[in-house]
Structure 1
Amino acid sequence: MSKAAILGAGSWGTAFGKVLAEAGTDVTIWSRRAEVARSISEDHENPGYLPGVELPGALKATADHRVALDGVDFAVLAVPSQTLRENLGVWRDDIAPNVTLLSLAKGIESGTLLRMSQVIGQVTGAEQNRIAVLSGPNLAREIVQGQPAATVVACPDSARAMEIQKACATGYFRPYTNTDVIGCEIGGACKNVIALACGMAAGVGFGDNTVATIITRGLAEITRLGTAVGAKPATLAGLAGVGDLVATCTSPLSRNRSFGERLGLGGSLESAQEATHGQVAEGVKSCTSVRALAENYDVEMPLTDAVHRVCHEGMSVSDAIGLLLGRRVKPE
């Protein structure tokens, strides 16, 4: 039996812990707050993130990361992308040398413009063949309900990817393996930004044609950036690309889409954050770092630029839409 630690007790970390436990993996979740760890272990619920969801009795939790990491085969990193570096600095000395590091975080680090696997390697000193990422159309609320979903486990070391695949395969959760870490990470980081744009469009009253246009042109942006930094186009046409993009852009369960919709309705960043119980959508921070990364590679990303201007430069959603519509026409 595989043994895993999940470092982070948010909605997706908890949901993935449930998947692992139901797949027969021995899993312990680390929570920063002791009361959350107690609730998961004793009450089998994470009321702050997944209220009303009964968690498996086999799923354990602790507020001590050393307990969670003791004797594990892989450590699942399930904290927000912009806090990953800081947390890894605390955890790294307690991660055994051959443990596989699996990232659930989706983003480009502000300032450094590094992908999450690069941050993990830089902070821990782990070789890239020890670092894996998981990405796909994985809305936590649907997964904890046992609704069918698929995902991609990407790692340069195929054997490690298959070990994780085996550890999280259930009747409702189907993992595929891939070696294209870059493609999975670029798809996962950029889709949050495009989902904000879709939410903004819905908030101002536009319909499905507009959303479909944003998704399609958003995928073109993502593919341009991905191929520029070394991703395989096929990855971005698969579950970690278009699959994750469609789910995040269209579902009311998507925090990024919901956040964007509140902005489209005329709300401020602050009011949108209050409406999401103090949680900022990942795309709000990622849009700036994704745009900067694109500029470094001379890649044009007009949707990402528009989202950045709305979130960080005070541009109204209506003006951003006008800016996009005013672009010169050209062949697709």
Structure 2
Amino acid sequence: MGLEKVIKCIKENKRFLITTHINPEGDAIGSVIALALILKKLGKSVVVCNTDPVPRNLQFLPYSKKIKQAKEINNRFDAMFVLDCGSKDRVGLFKNGAMPMPPPIVNIDHHITNEKFGYINYIDAKATATGDIIYRLAKALKIKIDKNIATAIYTTLLTETGSFRYSNTNSGILRISAELIDAGINPWRIGQQIYETNTFQRLKLLGILLDEMETDSTGKVAWVTITSAHYAATNTTAEDVEDFINFPRSIKGVEIAVLFRESKEDLYKISFRSRGTIDVTRLALKFGGGGHKYAAGCTVKGSLNEVKEKVLQAAVEEMERKIVKKEKTLESLNP
């Protein structure tokens, strides 16, 4: 039903604005580019605008140089697409979370915690990536997926599955990827651009964080902390932190990985990752955040010590809750 409404909106309108969440990554950028190219093939007028720049490792993508960066946009549009964004508070173009009126909002996403803030909501929590949904939209519109669209969609799948290593990798995604390769993309070049274009400063920052990485007494919770002092010492920015949380997550025995990132004074962006046992959306929701079962996030106010104490205590409690639940299940199976 959601897909049919999206198609109807596209067919009945001419001018579209496309945006995504703040601090966009591969799925967000790849999705907005793929949708823009699809709409242009249909003869539509399209503007893509985000409040944050395209990350360095994604600037190789076709159309990336045409993405505008602004805090607000005053042009008139028939509809506004918001992609890969579970909450209206994370849409940079919405002032303090307030949605513009008009145009109507078309909300396309795959986060299970999506707030369904759009006039039209096409949410599929079972989709591997928002780019997966955009692929389906292209097929429904009978759009030929050329090399540029294929490159953008493949980027969403590659980054969202951790190079096809995460639990959201499935046969359908691999079949789509094969079709995208047949459309002419170069997987090696895409992977190289995304993962092998580190700056010296970024790796210096990573070295410091790994040296300061911590775990709890059980070894099941591990975390890294990034402050403005780290950025200043290494001449880096928040963009350089992308995927750093995967390092504590990779430690044998760790079930929950946490990344604390200072956003501004007394405000911290928290990222959670699970090894597959703990549902970290439960953690994120406790602090007003959201995301996926094995990857979620939130923002918490307070001093670093206060934030770490609250968040890590919640992580430990979630671990204990899971252990108790498992024990009760075993007891019921062995009365």
Q: Identify the TM-score tier after normalising by the shorter chain.
A: 0.3 to 0.5
Greater percentage in strand: 2
Greater percentage in helix: 1
**Higher RCO (C-alpha 8 Å, min separation 6):** 1
Normalization by structure 2: what TM-score?
Answer: 0.40
